[in-house]
Structure 1
């Protein structure tokens, strides 16, 4: 890219931090600053809380953690090249917390240059919805944040500070609008430093808001987002910039670190178009790439290089295995086939064909002997009773125990293969198929699982065709089908979407065309399965209502709408 010598330049550092690894994160910021100098940039932008990673959660309760951040920030300031200023996100102490009765910390950004911390700015709007609990730790800043650099007046916002435009949303969530305050100060450029987790289609929403604000206020905006997986949250990156006309003029690569240099025309005080990565138009591809990043980073940041999963010959385990291969490499994935007397021949064959297509390692362990042993041990207690759910679930728990034993023995990450539809209604077994260190598709409805698998096969068969066309079954008893216990998945998933994600009432769901008794059955199943979800592995989040840190339902309660 050709750099103008007359205009002003700043660089976006789209970073993938490791939460708590302050020294390594600082080293990465320093390296990006050195590269940005070579790009001709005068300012480097990093994401929200870039020094410690987002979200640090209750690490923030440890004073030593905050002390370590401040010490590292001082050291970083001395190591940054003098030719460039850098905005670094960190958590700072609130010196007036005790006398004000406020929280002890601020979510802050430091402006550093020439070996010094020149200014510290604080986040003004603190989100408390979904996965966000910022008022648990932080006080809200009360000053309008701006500074002048090389004659350019720059307004600074931190993540949520951007998201309170009443005209765009049709409502006002907070009493103040930091963007309006900056415009009133006459800034030339607005910067937003974010750690905004992925949900399906969110980038289009982000850019829609940015375009609205840029055009409304005739002020260019640069949006910097974190990238990478941190526990259940996945940050897609997609940092971007919008000009005064409300046009996206630059966009970073998604799902990876990136460093791009932006040019501001000193005459028009507008950003110049230069580096524009395409959006992903296919929802299935977007979700797939997100989950791949989630698995890759969860494994890497937790110290795993290899993964194990059970292969049933069904579509869920097929999708998880394919994601694991993309994330970790085929040589690092072990699939274990564990047929029972109720497993159909075609399921075993389908699983074996998947292993061949993916090129992964596999083991086959029949569980008949384990079933016989449990039958013998429980015979005195279970005699004169009919075969039922308890015996069915024993099969799943035998498989879960085998997988955990192999994972423990060889240091593998066990991937759980249950989908969101099953987790919602409890069609899963505690200490069985729910075992694992990570629930890869626990926020992906069954119907979406099928769509993603069809997308995977768009250029040729990876997931065996028979897996895509056979009726879903747990195969825990003869001729079992999921629809013996559940509504068809297209009906079930629509009811779940309306109830869980859209918070619709039974009456609203019935008006949408669903049978009232079916609705009641589904909602009862969702309610009764809460205790299972509380014991599930972390669920990679792709929707705005995932069974993870943002899901805060009680276990012991009676549903008022079904009384």
Structure 2
């Protein structure tokens, strides 16, 4: 008789700190696994606590509470399939990122993460102790090796498991999205399969947590790196994978495989899912935002409607004497296309009152950016008043290009609780608008079709804080600006290296200067979903006070 094994993979969306809620999700998944006749339910890394917990996990009361919930889960699921679930382990004053194997109402094995990531958004060396490399555990007639997330990105842990008798590698993960990361994950796991000549199960979680979105896409590989099955990107799902033991060892039977989607769709889904989960997990129901008639607020409004539904989005137009009629018309058309409420609050009188109040202090001085910023800060004041009164969270709309060089007003248009496009450069804002106009998916709550007016996409960007103002008056064209920022911020190239690629040194130095002097603004800015591996906040942590400037290549 052929030996068989069935694993149930639960690609789920936990909430950080909701220990009871996460445990309830695990129990529901266990019931589905039992109904399917599975031998084991596999849940993601740190599932009981949610991920990432940051320093919350270092609080002993929290870690002990999570461990108690693991015991409660074991007792609640004392019959049926075994369970693998991630949670912290506080042991002899040492804290571990652990993975528990539950069976028969007890914890039968406890694995401790060995390789602790300490790059980009991860700070696990600070939070956890490195555990020893554990051997495989028995699941009936098969020995399972479980490298925990980062463990599988390195050679040593899977190799040690294979050498100590593991027949299948099961890898629980909390792996957040950045653009094109899926291909890197897949390639790394194929390497582990080929190196150890073992099938591998890669289970990832889904859902948004602050700035990070976990994109799922769990998969199973057979020997030689052959894909046996693949779960959907971003969606919660439960799947059952069957293994049979043949002459060469265990092999997964073929299952469903997802249809790949391009980076534009993945980015848009991350921005939508990030906002949806941030709202749902913090308890907010509705949002509002200032609608300017420009492209940034247009894409944010569209993302908000796709994430929450038009009935939960309020747009507000706050025109001044510098607001062009086409901006008013474009904003009205967008709001009508999206089906959202649009309020209009003129600010000309309020601006005049502030100008009059400050006149004695500014006497004899020429108008400058101060007067321009008064408009932006008035808008922030009025929008925050609406937010406070109606309990609607304010969205801010600055793209990554603006956030990078400080082309945004602190306490003005930077006011807000969340920024869906914080990690999206300006040129990608244009392309994302075009992508959304041409595509609609069932996870979008907004209407189909070209909802963003073409005129919003095609007209020159402007803040409209003075007569005939254009962004290009004070910044390079966005094609050049974004190219320099990607090299300077995302790739960490030196000024000399960027100049060698054909960019003007004076322009590069000016952009570098703007990036550094804007750090204090970013320090106070709203969170937003991470799209790249060098997003502002957890990925890129720079001092606010910093006199260093790159002098490489000077005099050449």
State TM-score, norm by structure 1.
0.94
Q: Distance in 2 between matches of 1:398 and 1:109?
A: 51
Map 1:171-182 → 2, pairs under 5 A: 177-182=156-161
How far does residue 144 in structure 1 lie from its aligned partner after superposition?
A: 2.5
Please tell me whether residue 21 in structure 1 is matched to residue 10 in structure 2. Answer: no
SS of 1:154's equivalent in the other structure is: strand
Report the counterpart of residue 271 of structure 1 in structure 2. Answer: 252
What is the alpha-carbon distance in structure 1 between the residues aligned to residue 551 and residue 365 of structure 2?
32
Q: What is the Cα deviation at residue 523 of structure 1?
A: 0.4
Displacement of 1:61:
2.7
Cα distance in 2 for residues equivalent to 1:492 and 1:29: 47
Q: State how many pairs are aligned.
A: 541
How many Å apart are 1:178 and its aligned residue?
Answer: 0.7
Separation in 2 of the partners of 1:293 and 1:305? 14
Structure 2's unaligned 5+ residue stretches are 440-448
Q: Which residues of 2 match residues 411-560 of structure 1 at below 5 A?
A: 411-458=391-438, 460-560=449-549
Preserved contact between residue 527 and residue 559 of structure 1 (Cα < 8 Å): no
2: CA distance between counterparts of 1:109 and 1:164? 18
The one of 222, 225, 243 aligned to 2:204: 225
Describe the superposition over 1:66-100 as per-residue Cα deviations: whole angstroms up to 9, x where unpaired. 221122111110111512000111101121x4xxx
Change (3 A) 1:6 1:186: closer
Provide the residue aligned with 2:444 in structure 1: none
Q: Does 1:193 align with 2:172?
A: yes
Q: Determine the C-alpha separation between the residues in 2 that align with 1:5 and 1:74.
A: 34
The Cα shift of 1:131 comes to 1.0
Aligned match of 1:409 = 389
Match of 1:34 in 2: 31
Matches of residues 251-270 of structure 1 in structure 2 within 5 Å? 251-267=230-246, 268-270=249-251
Please report the RMSD computed on the Cα atoms of aligned residues, expressed in angstroms. Answer: 1.4
Distance 2:476 2:436 in 1: 26
Q: How far off its partner does 1:151 sit?
A: 1.2
SS at match of 1:10: strand
Q: Which residue is equivalent to 1:183?
A: 162
**Structure 1 residue 217 displacement after superposition:** 2.3
User: Do the aligned residues in 2 keep the contact of 1:520 with 1:562 (CA within 8 Å)?
Assistant: no
SS in structure 2 at match of 1:487: coil
1:237 CA displacement:
1.0
Q: 1:113 aligned to 2:103?
A: yes
When residues 450 and 193 of structure 1 are mapped into structure 2, their CA distance, relative to the original with a 3 A threshold, is same
What stretches of structure 1 move > 4 A for 4+ residues in a row? none
1:75 and 2:56 are equivalent in the alignment: no
User: Which residue number in structure 1 is paired with residue 217 of structure 2?
Assistant: 238
Mapped pair 1:299 → 2:299? no
Give 1:105 shift.
0.4
SS at match of 1:157: coil
2:118 is aligned, of 108, 128, 136, to: 128
* Counterpart secondary structure, 2:485: helix
* Alignment counterpart, residue 90 of structure 2, candidates 88, 93, 96: 93
Unaligned runs of 5+ in 1: 98-103, 166-176
1:18–1:52: 8 Å Cα contact kept in structure 2?
Answer: yes
Contact 2:135 2:164 in 1 (8 A): no
TM-score, normalised relative to structure 2: 0.95
